[in-house]
Structure 1
Amino acid sequence: MAGPTVMQAAQGQHGAAAASNDGQSEQRSLIEFAVKAGETFASAYYAATDSPQRIGLIPTLYLPNSTIVWNGTPVSGKDELVQLLAAMPGSKHELQAFDAHPVGGGTENGVRRAPSVMITVTGVVTHHIPGSASTMAPTNAPKSAGGSSIKDLPLEALPRTFHQSFLLTPQPTHGTNAPVPDGGVNCATADGVWAARLFVQADNFRFIG
């Protein structure tokens, strides 16, 4: 049996190269979507967390079956999440490092499926309890003058470094006809190729300093 001709071999190589380029282009597009989604979500999430209305805002970003761990303590369901939010003092979050990347997603049999998005955040949070660093008026008075200093404050009143990771998933999931739930964050690439409403599937928060 005769082998492939030079022309056929060249066509095969060209087809493989085109498929590779398409795959790389799609991967770049998925990364663009993940970064856009991460920025949109982080902005919405921490603004809501620092808002006096957070009890009504934060739960709308989660699914009913979301897995939540807050500083080593499991939080089961939205009811416990609301209880946690109600028990926490007001806060101010300042983000220092941020990363986002796609998990899964892509085109299969001509159908585009938006990816899940993994987000990691590192920052500093100050809780507004009486006497906290965030409520102290700036002063140049020496300690001997009787004023308090940050070093005198309890740990919970000091700015603390935290690390938080999220797994966002698009809803409804691919292949289902379930209605899109209320809440979440909408995200789309500039060209509109990838678009989805994303919800928190998993959330892990921990103080690291």
Structure 2
Amino acid sequence: MAMPMDFKTYVDQACKAAEEFVNIYYETMDKRRQALTRLYLDKATLIWNGNVVTGLEALANFFDTLPSSEFQVNMLDCQPVHEQATQAQTTVLVVTSGTVKFDGNRQHYFNQSFLLTAQSTPNNTVWKIASDCFRFQDWASS
């Protein structure tokens, strides 16, 4: 019988996964946006400044409308979500903040929160976005 993982190890693994995910996500957003939907579950939901987008096709269409971007992440926080809240699905809450400049626009501060779920394959574990909430924080620059 396998020993349950101690909480510190669980948190450390969640943080490592979050750091790797954040690097992949923002690099993909800035440089290979057409591949961004591969990071989402089929029925994932994105809330972008209060506008809801659900499903891969809608996400692809939405991302196609965004101008090119340059994201700079200044803060990353993460924590595992208790399995009782996620029906035993391994889930991590990831929160980022930083700045973004979209082509032709001024720089904005942003906050973004992701709920990531672990998807096991025969060879490894892949983290997919179940929920994504993005907000400009323009009040911070006034």
Given candidates 50, 75, 99, the residue that maps to 2:77 is 99
Percent of residue pairs bearing the same amino acid type: 31
Q: Which residue of 1 aligns with 2:20?
A: 40
Distance 1:76 1:168 in 2: 16
Residue 114 of structure 1 and its aligned partner are, at CA, apart by 7.3
Does structure 1 residue 203 correspond to structure 2 residue 122? no
Does structure 1 residue 119 correspond to structure 2 residue 94? yes
SS of structure 1 residue aligned to 2:67: coil
SS of structure 2 residue aligned to 1:65: strand
Does structure 1 residue 89 correspond to structure 2 residue 18? no
Does structure 1 residue 171 correspond to structure 2 residue 100? no
Distance 1:35 1:206 in 2: 22
Are the equivalent residues in 2 in contact too, given 1:30–1:115 (CA < 8 A)?
Answer: no
Q: Which residue of 1 aligns with 2:39?
A: 61
Are the equivalent residues in 2 in contact too, given 1:115–1:169 (CA < 8 A)?
Answer: yes
Distance 1:78 1:61 in 2: 10
Letter matched to residue 16 of structure 2: K
What are the equivalent positions in structure 2 for 1:144-183 lying under 5 Å apart? 157-172=105-120, 180=121
**1:174-205 C-alpha deviation (Å, 9 max, x unpaired):** xxxxxx4xxxxx6xxxxxxxxx3211010000
Residue 95 of structure 1 and its aligned partner are, at CA, apart by 0.7
Q: Which residue of 1 aligns with 2:51?
A: 73
**TM-score if structure 1 supplies the norm length?**
0.58
Letter matched to residue 49 of structure 1: M
Report the count of equivalent residues.
Answer: 131
**TM-score if structure 2 supplies the norm length?**
0.85
Residue 104 of structure 1 and its aligned partner are, at CA, apart by 2.4
Residue 96 of structure 1 and its aligned partner are, at CA, apart by 1.0
Stretches of 4+ aligned residues off by more than 4 angstroms: none
Distance 1:114 1:197 in 2: 13
**1:95-124 C-alpha deviation (Å, 9 max, x unpaired):** 11110111125xxxxxxx773110000110
SS of structure 1 residue aligned to 2:47: strand
Unaligned 5+ runs, structure 2: none
Aligned residues: CA RMSD: 2.1
